[in-house]
């Protein structure tokens, strides 16, 4: 009996099997327990000899069970330790890292340059009211400039005849908002998204502009010119920039000027700062008295200049990018090619 039970204990391959052996031997209905119960029906002499032997058997089997249990636990731990072994000296696996989008990078550059000249950053909503986007900027409902803006209109509820909101077509409405919020004197730039229904190599339905505005007692066109030249020198990082102010028309500035930068196209390569070509980079002018009035500013006391520039456009020029649409395709190969991602 003894060798039989000790063999069964030794053969138990895991904890559940061992527990089954324990129950079969020492459990309430186990074989050894059963034998011990029979002791009660024996004569005192029988009981003495059998009892001692049974006690010893029970203790031996019990000890073997415990030892086997510890052995199984050790083996299980060993198996886990070798299975989960980790070499902490191995180099880590590199994970792809995100980078700031080129338009955001360029926007930050623009903000930094104007911040050095004392311009604060102003903001306005991308869904804009008809009044801020047009009327306040001296573009009344019948004005032909409205057609040129290729405007996206927001839907109105049926029966609501108020002019629909629009996706702002330029950052100029922020001129009005910044004036209402900050009063005069003021110097702000307003970078942000604008929308027009247009799509080709150099147009996307959403693009970015930065508006600039400076208002004080005696702001002049000369200060506008200096500010823009200073900006272009810093932004394009070329030793000399030459700007050409070309008379133009915007309803919200008078006089108005479109500004071109001197450049050359050598074998399809654009070079800024030299050559016989001119490339338009922004619109500007002295703020129209009606615009100041719309924003609650007295035009007999205050004057200002304003300008609006395409951020994506100046980014294309600076980095020699031929197709604007690529900015918004999130193609990693493209971003890496132009050094915008690692
Ligand atoms: N808002 C004009 C545009 O989108 C640019 C501009 C801004 C012109 C400010 C003059 C003054 O084309």
- For 28-42, what is the mean pLDDT? 88
- For 261-267, what is the mean pLDDT? 86
Q: Whose CA is nearest to atom 6 of ligand 1?
A: 308
Ligand 1 in contact with 306 (CB < 6 A)? yes
167-207 pLDDT, tens digit each: 999 999 999 999 999 999 999 999 999 999 988 888 899 99
Q: Where residue 290 falls among pLDDT bands split at 50, 70, 90?
A: very high
Ligand 1 in contact with 208 (CB < 6 A)? no
Q: Where residue 300 falls among pLDDT bands split at 50, 70, 90?
A: very high
* Cα–Cα–Cα angle for 259, 260, 265, rounded to 5 degrees: 165
Helix 311-319 / helix 221-236 crossing angle, nearest 10 deg:
40
Secondary structure of residue 223 in the 3-state scheme? helix
- Which candidate, 103, 6, 131, 173, places its Cα nearest to that of 326? 103
- Which candidate, 111, 335, 106, 307, places its Cα nearest to that of 226? 307
How far is residue 50's CA from residue 45's CA, in Å, rounded to a whole number? 9
227-248 pLDDT, tens digit each: 999 999 999 998 788 999 999 9
How far is residue 136's CA from residue 151's CA, in Å, rounded to a whole number? 16
User: What's the pLDDT at 97?
Assistant: 80
Ligand 1 in contact with 284 (CB < 6 A)? yes
Q: Where residue 116 falls among pLDDT bands split at 50, 70, 90?
A: very high
- Cα of 172 from ligand 1 centre, angstroms: 6
* Cα–Cα–Cα angle for 328, 329, 334, rounded to 5 degrees: 105
* Long-range CB contact pairs, 139-143, < 8 A, 24+: 139/251, 139/252, 143/251
How far is residue 231's CA from residue 225's CA, in Å, rounded to a whole number? 10
pLDDT more than 70, % of the chain: 100
Query: Is 296's pLDDT higher than 80?
Result: yes
Question: Candidates 211, 260, 283, 306: which one to mutate for ligand 1, based on the most atoms within 8 Å of Cβ?
Answer: 283
Helix extents (H) in the chain: 2-11, 15-26, 31-38, 44-83, 102-116, 130-133, 145-148, 173-182, 221-236, 289-294, 311-319, 332-337
Ligand 1 in contact with 283 (CB < 6 A)? yes
- Cα of 281 from ligand 1 centre, angstroms: 11
Structure tokens at 190: 């307003």
Annotated binding site for Mg(2+): 254
- Cα of 12 from ligand 1 centre, angstroms: 87
User: What's the pLDDT at 268?
Assistant: 74
User: How many other CB atoms are found less than 10 A from the CB of residue 307?
Assistant: 24
How far is residue 74's CA from residue 342's CA, in Å, rounded to a whole number? 49
Give the nearest ligand 1 atom to 209 CA: 4
Q: What is the largest CA-CA distance in the chain?
A: 131
Q: Are 165 and 128 in contact (CB under 8 A)?
A: yes
Query: Is 254's pLDDT higher than 80?
Result: yes
User: What's the pLDDT at 1?
Assistant: 83
- Cα of 282 from ligand 1 centre, angstroms: 7
Going by C-beta distance under 8 Å and a sequence separation of 6 or more, which residues neighbour residue 165?
127, 128, 129, 130, 153, 154
User: What's the pLDDT at 41?
Assistant: 86
Q: What is the DSSP letter of 278?
A: E
How far is residue 117's CA from residue 100's CA, in Å, rounded to a whole number? 25
Q: Give me the residues paired with residue 298 across strands.
A: none
Query: Is 44's pLDDT higher than 90?
Result: no
User: What's the pLDDT at 49?
Assistant: 83
How far is residue 190's CA from residue 212's CA, in Å, rounded to a whole number? 6
309-325 pLDDT, tens digit each: 999 999 988 888 888 88
Structure tokens at 15: 């904890």
74-111 pLDDT, tens digit each: 998 998 888 888 888 999 898 878 888 999 999 999 99
DSSP codes, 121-142: E----SEE-HHHHTGGGT--TT
User: What's the pLDDT at 104?
Assistant: 94
Please state whether the predicted TM-score (pTM) of the whole model is above 0.80. no
């Amino acid at each position: 009996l003894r060798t039989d039970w000790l063999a069964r204990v030794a053969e138990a391959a895991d904890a559940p099997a061992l527990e089954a052996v324990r129950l079969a031997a020492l459990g309430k209905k186990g074989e050894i327990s059963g034998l011990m119960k029979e002791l009660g029906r024996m004569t005192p002499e029988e009981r003495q000899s059998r009892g001692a032997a049974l006690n010893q058997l029970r203790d031996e089997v019990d000890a073997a069970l415990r030892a086997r249990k510890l052995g199984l636990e050790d083996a299980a731990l060993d198996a886990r330790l070798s299975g989960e072994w980790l070499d902490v000296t191995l180099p880590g696996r590199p994970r792809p890292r995100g980078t700031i989008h080129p338009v955001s990078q360029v926007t930050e550059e623009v903000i930094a340059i104007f911040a050095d000249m004392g311009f604060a950053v102003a903001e306005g909503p991308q869904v804009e009211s008809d009044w801020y986007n047009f009327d306040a900027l001296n573009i009344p409902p019948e004005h032909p400039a409205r057609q040129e803006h290729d405007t996206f209109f927001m839907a109105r509820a049926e029966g609501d005849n108020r002019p629909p909101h629009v996706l702002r077509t330029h950052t100029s409405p922020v001129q009005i908002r910044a004036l209402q919020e900050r009063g005069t004197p003021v110097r702000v730039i307003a970078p942000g998204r604008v929308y027009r229904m247009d799509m080709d190599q150099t147009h996307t339905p959403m693009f970015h502009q930065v508006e600039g505005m400076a208002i004080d007692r005696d702001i002049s066109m000369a200060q506008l010119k200096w500010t823009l030249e200073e900006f272009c020198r810093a932004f394009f990082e070329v030793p000399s920039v030459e700007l050409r102010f070309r008379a133009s028309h915007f309803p919200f500035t008078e006089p108005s000027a479109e500004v071109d930068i001197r450049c050359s196209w050598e074998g399809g390569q654009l070079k800024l700062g030299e050559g016989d070509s001119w490339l338009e980079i922004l619109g500007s002018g002295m703020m129209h008295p009606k615009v100041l009035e719309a924003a609650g500013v007295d035009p007999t006391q205050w004057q200002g200049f304003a300008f609006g520039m395409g951020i994506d456009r100046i980014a294309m020029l600076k980095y020699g990018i031929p197709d604007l649409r690529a900015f918004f395709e999130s193609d990693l190969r493209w971003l890496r090619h132009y050094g915008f991602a690692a």
